[in-house]
Amino acid sequence: MNDYARGPLSGLRVIEAGVLLAGPFCGQILGDLGADVIKVEEPGRGDPMREWGRERPYGKSLWFPVLGRNKRSVTLNLRVPDGQEVLRRLAAEADVLVENFRPGTLERWGVGPDVLWEINPRLVIVRVSAYGQSGPYAERAGYGSIGEAMGGIRYTTGDPDSLPSRVGISIGDSLAGTFAAVGAMGALRVAEATGRGQIVDSAIYESVLALMESLVPEYALGGYIRERTGSILPNIAPSNVYVASDGGMVVIAANQDTVFRRLAEAMAQPELAVDPRFAGHTDRGRHQRELDELIAKWCAGYGGDELLELLHRHGVPAGRIYTAKEMLTDPHFAARDAIVRLEHPDLGEFPMQNVVPKLTATPGGIRGVGPELGQHTDEVLRDVAGLDDDEISRLRAAGVV
């Protein structure tokens, strides 16, 4: 077994003091890549994510086993001096601390960056928040939905005739967690070289803004505001959802000239590729509605499987719109282990998405579903914080753990 058997971050210790999604998603990514992630949770309650999720068989969340995977759970009351002292002892033995409390909270608890760096100068402190650690909005309460609204993705999502729509997942939180993980790995490289840690400041609204392509210069330089466009790419055609005769929904993306010619051949209508309305990229964009109507009519003459087989045979990018049902039975998902099945202590076989991206030599992996609340408290306090059994018993009697 080599040093990186668990993944490229094997040997790295992360203290995750965050709750809900943004901070813990950063911890999930680091844990997937092999880090030892110690999740600090409030005694008796734990992370509220333990209660979230649409379906809860046997009273169990189906979200937390995913978000909490590859982590060890320690209960610790950070609002009292004894709990804060234990966190300082854990941080002394860690490489990264992740938190997503409102800015200033760690400082009020006596475990702010300056205090922690006196104990461990090379500690990387990842701070995830709605608005960032500075600026006039920093201390405002905020959730991912607010960051999505301010970052631009809400305004541009949905049908043009409706109010701005949610993407369908907590994209703002997940983006902030993802960028936090990227920042943590960059800061770790510097810490290894210099012996000094730094703050990774990941704001939800900025993480969303980072994905907004040329939205800002389009307005600043051209006076253009992107609007909601539903299922199409404005002026880029064909790129839309089409319905087969059996009701299956298929996305076809054939907007490049050479690909559109292949689509025209698949449709047995090669003349479309030289039609002045559709011959070039700009022409197709100008006549997008007409082209979509032609393609929709053609798609309606085939069942979904037959339609896809025909499109793939002609080299036209196309694919079904999947739900979880299709993902669990798709042979390509299976061949790449995109979904893995673990054992849950109460629910039995538990499928979830695998680690992304795939590294060929040190791929990381999922070692277990999210732990029970406080499952690893004694072992972590003993092995990492260096407490003996009497000290742990005292803390437990006082309600600190």
Residue 232 CA to residue 241 CA, distance in Å, equals 8
Residue 235 CA to residue 232 CA, distance in Å, equals 9
173 given a catalytic annotation: yes
3-state secondary structure of 176: helix
Asked if 46 and 20 touch (Cβ cutoff 8 Å), the reply is no
Q: How far is CA 309 from the centre of its chain?
A: 32
Residue in 36, 173, 201, 292 annotated catalytic? 173
Asked if 111 and 84 touch (Cβ cutoff 8 Å), the reply is yes
Distance, first Cα to last Cα, the chain: 35
The full DSSP string for 303-341 is -HHHHHHHHHHTT--EEEPP-HHHHTT-HHHHHTT-EEE
Residue 27 CA to residue 71 CA, distance in Å, equals 8
Residue 174 CA to residue 171 CA, distance in Å, equals 5
- Does an H or E element contain 352, and which? strand 348-353
- The set of catalytic residues is 173
